[in-house]
Amino acid sequence: MIFPTLNFLLFFLTIWVVSWALVACGRHGLHKLVIIAASYVFYAFWSWKLTFLLAFNAIVNWAVGRGIELGRATRWQKVAVTLGVAANLSVLGFFKYYGWFSGELNELLTTVHVERELPLLEIVLPVGISFFTFQGISYVVDLYRGHLDRARGFIDVAFFLSFFPHLVAGPIVRASAFMPQLEKPPNPNRVFVSLGVMLIVWGVFKKAVVANWLAVGLVDPAFRDPTGYGGADLAAATYGYAVQIYCDFSAYSDIAIGAAALLGYRFQRNFNQPYRAVTIADFWRRWHISLSTWLRDYLYIPLGGNRGGRLRTYRNLLVTMLLGGVWHGAAWSFAFWGGLHGLWLGVERFVYGRFGWSPVEAARRWHVLMRGLGILVTFHLVCLLWILFRAADLERAEEVVLGLTHWSQPAELLTPFLAALIAIGLLIQFTPSDMIVRLDHIYQRLPVVAVGVLAGLSLLLIEAVGGDGSAPFIYFQF
Amino acid sequence: MQKPVQPLGTKDLEAGLRPTKASDFALIAGIAVAMLLVFNSQGLMTWTQRLPSSATTAWLAERAYEWHGCMERLGTAQLMERLKLVFRQYTPET
């Protein structure tokens, strides 16, 4: 089941009614159970068999949480958290990386004429596994670090890990931020309805109109056969993909945050106008914020962060971004994508460090013209690296990059409509940062009926402009 | 114990917004769904036809077909079709 479909609309409206009815009756425990059951049903739409993996994940993390609690102030606490992190990483490693690892190893063994081969298994990649395993790690590590006051019961752990708005493509919700929200039932008189409605309608527009048309009309054909198109089309497809992936992924986050808000729960912001970033460090403060802060707090800082001197900092940045790249997928192109981001973060840190600044601080001190130049350079660097991310393999990525230098062929794919979508995708990066607050003020002044009519009109327009059907979100594959 | 670099979880999205009653959403959703049913009855019909076949879904598809017929007689379904045609001039061929 995917978000901008009638299936999801019916599913969500049913859950919304039942969930608030149970809250109104004072049945908080049952309310949680119903949401957990709904989340498993939501997941079962992809594969009912994989719901057992989700349940296994909840049981393991709950048990590890109990272990950490029982072993407080003893070395067993460390043993428990290590086991918990290892269990989550093993699940992720087996389902996501075994196939890649065994394929690469077998190739290596063949080149050195060794007969033994690792068995190649047909492993189905469970949708959302990268997200719920990282959340499992967040639970056990937050508990170990004392960011969570105590281990939670099984129901709360299962709720946190499986809550359907974030289940398959994030945002990666932190245990320490989310679990305290489960202590009390949500308050039906204090719900951010305007935020929920605005984010859902806006998300559906970004996905159904901008991301879908750019994928179908420009990006997919160009990246399928880069040698068949000239530099103009490949450049448009590269910009188009930058806009497509932003509109696709941020749409999912918006709908997830909006759906959670309407059910009375709060998620962290996941995107903050990333293409207005002045440096790559600034970009990572604005893009997939829940992942970049997760990597910072659970990987970069435990590795030593910037505490062990300059060289160690560069190493830690590189390792963190390399692993962040591989988190997206088991392929060399993702490793290179992450590694190159890490490398550039190191370059920025080195250059600005000469002036005693951090890359983010430096950007703040710049003159407005320099900031504009910084935005242009950062955006183009990000676009160039997106080629690695989008291309089916490294050879195809090379073909796109080489094709960008041949401008003799006229543009075949780029139409005024697609150019307008790219322009919209870029212009929304520069809207006022308090746009939601301004829209909320308008919402507060309008009668609720008028908001309903506006929402209905927006959805009808989206339906009229959007194509038939809805493609899966890009981040489902991760 | 390691301190978090910044407060975990953010309230930045909600900052400056005023919470309201959950029941407001019931009215908003009700109106939006009603508008979709009236103007996009074709979409509802297509959706019911794509459901896995069973006696219930066949019954549902029949009702959706009848509903679409009503909306065609009212003229609301054609409005949506005309709007779609306007945009089809600009959107890529699929």
What does the pLDDT read at residue A18? Answer: 97
Interface check for A33 against chain B (CB to CB < 8 A): the answer is no
Q: How confident is the model at residue A235 (pLDDT cuts 50, 70, 90)?
A: very high
Residue B41, min C-alpha distance to chain A (Å): 11
Q: How many CB pairs under 8 A join A and B?
A: 151
Query: In this structure, is residue B62 part of a structural domain?
Result: yes
Q: How confident is the model at residue A116 (pLDDT cuts 50, 70, 90)?
A: low
Query: In this structure, is residue B39 part of a structural domain?
Result: yes
What does the pLDDT read at residue A35? Answer: 97
Interface check for B27 against chain A (CB to CB < 8 A): the answer is yes
Q: Judge whether A328 counts as a catalytic residue.
A: yes
What does the pLDDT read at residue A6? Answer: 86
Q: How confident is the model at residue A164 (pLDDT cuts 50, 70, 90)?
A: very high
Would the CB atoms of A434 and B16 count as touching at under 8 Å?
yes
Query: In this structure, is residue B83 part of a structural domain?
Result: yes
Interface check for B11 against chain A (CB to CB < 8 A): the answer is yes
Domain count, chain B: 1
What does the pLDDT read at residue B11? Answer: 56
Would the CB atoms of B39 and A460 count as touching at under 8 Å?
yes
Would the CB atoms of B91 and A195 count as touching at under 8 Å?
no
Query: In this structure, is residue B9 part of a structural domain?
Result: no
Query: In this structure, is residue B7 part of a structural domain?
Result: no
Would the CB atoms of A449 and B4 count as touching at under 8 Å?
no
Q: Which residue has the higher pLDDT, A36 or B94?
A: A36
| ipTM confidence | 0.86
Q: How confident is the model at residue B8 (pLDDT cuts 50, 70, 90)?
A: very low
- pTM value is 0.90
Domain membership of residue B73 as a residue range: 23-89
Query: In this structure, is residue B79 part of a structural domain?
Result: yes
Q: What is the 3-state secondary structure (H, E, C) of chain A?
A: CCCCCHHHHHHHHHHHHHHHHHHHCCCHHHHHHHHHHHHHHHHHCCCCCCHHHHHHHHHHHHHHHHHHHHCCCCHHHHHHHHHHHHHHHHHHHHHHHHHHHHHHHHHHHHHCCCCCCCCCCCCCCCCCHHHHHHHHHHHHHHHHHCCCCCCCCHHHHHHHHHCHHHHCCCCCCCHHHHHHHHCCCCCCCCECHHHHHHHHHHHHHHHHHHHHHHHHHHHHHHHHCHHHCCHHHHHHHHHHHHHHHHHHHHHHHHHHHHHHHHCCCCCCCCCCCHHHCCCHHHHCCCCCHHHHHHHHHHHHHHHCCCCCCHHHHHHHHHHHHHHHHHHHCCCHHHHHHHHHHHHHHHHHHHHHHCCCCCHHHHHHHCCHHHHHHHHHHHHHHHHHHHHHHHCCCHHHHHHHHHHCCCCCCCCCCCCHHHHHHHHHHHHHHHCCCCHHHHHHHHHHHCCHHHHHHHHHHHHHHHHHHCCCCCCCCHHHHC
Query: In this structure, is residue B5 part of a structural domain?
Result: no
Q: How confident is the model at residue A117 (pLDDT cuts 50, 70, 90)?
A: low
Query: In this structure, is residue B12 part of a structural domain?
Result: no
The mean pLDDT of chain A is: 90
Residues of chain B contacting A417 with CB distance shorter than 8 Å:
90-92
